[in-house]
Structure 1
Amino acid sequence: MRLDPSFIWTAFTLLLSAIPTTLIITAVAMGCGILIGTTVALIRIYRVPVLHQLAAAYVTFIRGTPMLTHLLLIYFGLPYLVDSLAIQLGWSFRAVSIPLIGFAYISFSITAGAYLSEVIRSGLLAVNKGQLEAAYSIGMTTKQAMKRIVFPQAFAILLPSLSNSTISMLHGTTLAFTVSVVDINAKSQIIASSNWKFFEAYIAAAIIYWGLTILIERLTAIIEKRINLYNRGGVA
């Protein structure tokens, strides 16, 4: 077997068209994951009756099972649930109408939500409780205090972990090919299947993932720099 450098470049140019799909899956999963994670974190911090136990079970189950398992459970289980409800409620909608990428969105969002709930919870707990008490003393409600004082400080604390989670999710999107979503990983397999130059195709894919990872790291560094400037009283 001989390495074909020219095909690495060919594969690289062909893989560029799959980058938007990978980035969209990552963005949707992280965006929904942050919303789910924040909700779960607050439920666990304030120990909301019943919901606290359900939230803890959700986090334990998701963190204790593989990401691929979540995807397959959603892929095979969601159509059964949707079709059953549709029949009972008389809906015309059927699971076959759900786009394949929709299963990836749902599965990865649920996975991200469990992991991010712990990241967000640790960030919120790291903020000095005296900050919240001071906010109450000047007449702020809990919602105002969380929005104006606690969450901004927690975000600065959890930013590195949030960056790592984003990178992990970016790499985790490679599993989307199991439900026929053509991301970078799936595209590299399709490209290589015509001439069996899988090694070259995967090298090209690795370079793209590496570049995207570096981009996330650089964006994180810029945001972190602006936050540090703000915390020191400078101009962001």
Structure 2
Amino acid sequence: MDNFDIQYIINLFYILLKYIHVTLSISLLSMIIGITLAILLALIKIYKIKGLYFFTNVYISFFRGTPFIAQLFLLYFGLPEIIPVLKNLNAYNAAVICLALNASAYMAESIRAAITSIEKGQMEAALSLGMTNLQALKLIIIPQAARIAIPSLANNFIDIIKGSSLAFTIGVAEIMGKAQMEGSASYKFFESYLAVALLYWVIVLVFEYLQRTVEYKFNKAY
């Protein structure tokens, strides 16, 4: 460890912090888009909507059953060969879209399980009071399901944050990509990858704290 350069790591932290907004924006946008898709997918599975149910099962199976890196390369490098309009898709947007699609497949199952865990009698009671299915879902079922799904969805978000590190493979300048560039320039690969690993760890710890705070507030009502 004689060659270990702690000063290099400290200096690298300052450099990586300039790119942290890229990592966080990719993660947050992917989570917002992903959870929106996941709710739709979960409802399609719960109500077995004709014409969409089979597609939804295939979609979830594909994104859960194939490596994220393969999905990313397929979207960014592969599909533009057969869908020319995708040639205008930049690397940042490709990373957001692919992370959102991938995460939605996992979150859909979490949301579906949370919704189906709510007693059916509550939906029946809401309908008997004159509510529509949509009103009952929005006002009664989903708020309760959200409390159940929060731990799983929070884990999905943490996976999105870590998954965003692969965006550098298609040219996105986020913290992992910058750490690799700095390591290649200085030949201090150990320090570079240690610095980026520690930074991801801190980010995840912050969101784990926020997760516990949100869980506590939701559980106070019960």
TM-score (norm 2): 0.95
| Structure 1, unaligned runs of 5 or more | 84-93, 232-236
1:137 counterpart letter in structure 2: S
State the partner residue of 1:89: none
| CA distance in structure 2 between the partners assigned to 1:219 and 1:20 by the alignment | 18
Query: Residue 166 of structure 1: SS of its match in structure 2?
Result: helix
State yes or no: 1:98 paired with 2:89.
yes
Structure 1 residues 113-124: aligned runs within 5 Å:
113-124=104-115
| CA distance in structure 1 between the partners assigned to 2:149 and 2:86 by the alignment | 37
- From 143, 154, 166, the equivalent of 2:145 is 154
Structure 1 residues 40-79: aligned runs within 5 Å:
40-79=41-80
Structure 1 residues 80-229: aligned runs within 5 Å:
80-83=81-84, 94-229=85-220
Query: Residue 194 of structure 1: SS of its match in structure 2?
Result: helix
Contact 2:76–2:89, Cα closer than 8 Å, also in 1 = no
Q: CA RMSD in A?
A: 1.3
Query: Residue 220 of structure 2: SS of its match in structure 1?
Result: helix
After superposition, the C-alpha distances for 1:72-124 in whole angstroms (9 at most, x for unaligned) are: 110123323442xxxxxxxxxx5443221111111111101111111111111
After superposition, the C-alpha distances for 1:24-61 in whole angstroms (9 at most, x for unaligned) are: 11111111111111111111110111210110011111
| CA distance in structure 2 between the partners assigned to 1:123 and 1:55 by the alignment | 18
How much does 1:5 deviate? 0.7
Contact 2:38–2:104, Cα closer than 8 Å, also in 1 = yes
| CA distance in structure 2 between the partners assigned to 1:194 and 1:62 by the alignment | 36
| Structure 2, unaligned runs of 5 or more | none
| CA distance in structure 2 between the partners assigned to 1:214 and 1:160 by the alignment | 14
State the partner residue of 2:22: 21
Query: Residue 185 of structure 2: SS of its match in structure 1?
Result: coil
Instruction: Extract structure 1 runs of 4+ deviating beyond 4 A.
Output: none
Contact 1:82–1:95, Cα closer than 8 Å, also in 2 = yes
State the partner residue of 2:32: 31
Contact 1:43–1:52, Cα closer than 8 Å, also in 2 = yes
Query: Residue 48 of structure 1: SS of its match in structure 2?
Result: coil
Contact 1:171–1:209, Cα closer than 8 Å, also in 2 = yes
Contact 2:176–2:196, Cα closer than 8 Å, also in 1 = yes
| CA distance in structure 2 between the partners assigned to 1:148 and 1:132 by the alignment | 10
- From 216, 222, 230, the equivalent of 2:221 is 230
1:188 counterpart letter in structure 2: A
Contact 1:45–1:121, Cα closer than 8 Å, also in 2 = yes
2:137 counterpart letter in structure 1: M
| CA distance in structure 2 between the partners assigned to 1:17 and 1:78 by the alignment | 32
Q: Sequence identity, in percent?
A: 39
State the partner residue of 1:91: none
How much does 1:198 deviate? 1.1
After superposition, the C-alpha distances for 1:62-81 in whole angstroms (9 at most, x for unaligned) are: 11100001101101233234
| CA distance in structure 1 between the partners assigned to 2:140 and 2:207 by the alignment | 26
| CA distance in structure 1 between the partners assigned to 2:18 and 2:120 by the alignment | 48
| CA distance in structure 2 between the partners assigned to 1:105 and 1:195 by the alignment | 30
Q: How many residues align?
A: 221
